[in-house]
Amino acid sequence: MSSDREQHVVRITRNLGEKSRDEVVAFINEKLAEYKGTADGGATGGTHGIPLLVFNTSKDAHVFANELSKATQYPREHIEVKARGGTRESGRRDGKT
């Protein structure tokens, strides 16, 4: 496997409110490693107090997003999974938009 392969990012797209945010963060802390993910809370990381969750495969990212939604009863449509880096789908390489 190549080190330049794309990664898949899971992020929350809507404010959860404090109680829900605490539940989501607790789930992430408990289960993230089990789903082969890492948290990226850098300057451009996460939103609403929740870090970006980075996975090496689309399958792992989608499974984690679905489990996160079920465990916290947070609507799946507000949990986004996107590819980043390594492929044409992740954006243009020539700087044009």
Q: Which residue has the higher pLDDT, 68 or 48?
A: 68
Taken in order 46, 50, 54, 58, the sign of the CA dihedral is: negative
Taken in order 69, 24, 20, 14, the sign of the CA dihedral is: negative
Give 23's DSSP letter: H
- Minimal CA–CA distance to 54: which of 83, 77, 30? 83
Rounded to an integer, the average pLDDT of 11-30 is 84
Over residues 64-86, the pLDDT tens digits come to 999 999 998 889 999 999 998 75
Can you give the pTM of this predicted structure? 0.73
pLDDT at 55: 94
- Class of domain 7-88 (CATH, top level): alpha beta
DSSP string, 31-79: HTGGGTEEEE-STT--BTTB-EEEESSHHHHHHHHHHHHHHHT--GGGE
